[in-house]
Amino acid sequence: MATLKAIRKRISSIRNTQQITKAMKMVSAAKLRRAQEAAVQARPYADKMVELLRNVAARVSQEAHPLLKARDEKKIHLLLFTSDRGLCGGYNANLIRAAEAFIRREGAGKEIHLVLIGRKGADYFRRRRAQIADRHLNVLATPAEELAAEIADKVIDRFVKSETDAVYILYSRFRSALSQVPTLEKLLPVAIAETEDPTQLTEYLYEPSVEALLASLLPKVAEVAILRALLEATASEHGARMTAMDSATSNASKMMETLTLQMNRARQASITRELMEIVGTAEALK
């Protein structure tokens, strides 16, 4: 059995750790509220952009704009969104596992290049010597709109120059603080859902032309999709960290209860042993 001094030292250490995890939980809870609002508010805008794009692009061919043109996918870029910091449970591990599954599934006879947003994913794949096309670190320190525009400009430029045949994004979609779902979406070429009945499409009057509108709209759709992924990933990270820190705080309380019980037993055993020594000494002196 551990000594009283060792048990007291462990309790003190766990109590200090519990204070840290409790503080981190409170910070993540405060940040989660703002991040969740931003992610939820971005969803209707992104969905409406896709709806507008579907109505516009359904009347033109793939040749109307380079971002609509589908090619044989020999070179693929995967945008992976992870966090810069840890202590968020299985958040990063789930995303990295999904990325590796994608690489195994699509990598046969193809070149897959990674665009890594977040330090955890960048460090993981750098150690494994993966083909990394670009890295973006300190994500939370950069305004989401600026980062999304920067990433979108680079991947669009690569696609237009035929440096890649397809671009996918992998991020964690926020459902709740307890549930974040790794989500894979195709970013480029912009996929247009076919409409069975063209008469059901909303009629628009275009000025100056459909082609000119697509030239302005399609890059914006890609940028909005990346911005939405960033906001969802940020909310998911804070939710996962809050949940992980809450669990750590509860586990610390349980450990302290167990150690306190051990300490009391050790102290009782020590007192009993001392009493027995006193009684034994007194009997010996008779």
pLDDT band at 198 (very low <50, low <70, confident <90, very high): low
pLDDT for the residue numbered 192:
65
Mean local confidence (pLDDT), 58-62: 67
Residue 125 above 90 pLDDT? yes
Catalytic residue among 57, 88, 177, 263: 88
* 235 shares a domain with 204: yes
Contact 89, 246 (CB under 8 A): no
What is the biggest distance separating any 2 CA atoms in the chain, rounded to whole angstroms? 116
pLDDT for the residue numbered 244:
92
Please indicate whether residue 217 or residue 16 has the higher confidence score (pLDDT): 16
* 99 shares a domain with 8: no
* 204 shares a domain with 88: yes
* 212 shares a domain with 254: no
* 17 shares a domain with 43: no
Mean local confidence (pLDDT), 124-142: 88
- Domain tally, the chain: 2
Per-residue pLDDT of 246-269, as tens digits, reads 999 999 999 999 999 988 888 888
As a whole number of angstroms, the distance between CA 130 and CA 78 comes to 12
pLDDT for the residue numbered 142:
81
* 145 shares a domain with 214: yes
pLDDT for the residue numbered 18:
92
Residue 151 above 90 pLDDT? yes
44 is catalytic: no
Beta-carbon count within 10 A of 31 CB: 18
How is the beta sheet containing 132-136 ordered, strand by strand? 132-136, 111-117, 75-81, 166-176, 179-188
Per-residue pLDDT of 68-104, as tens digits, reads 888 888 899 999 999 998 889 899 999 999 999 999 9
* 180 shares a domain with 266: no
* 252 shares a domain with 126: no
For 253, the domain range is 4-21+245-285
Per-residue pLDDT of 41-52, as tens digits, reads 888 888 888 777
pLDDT for the residue numbered 78:
94
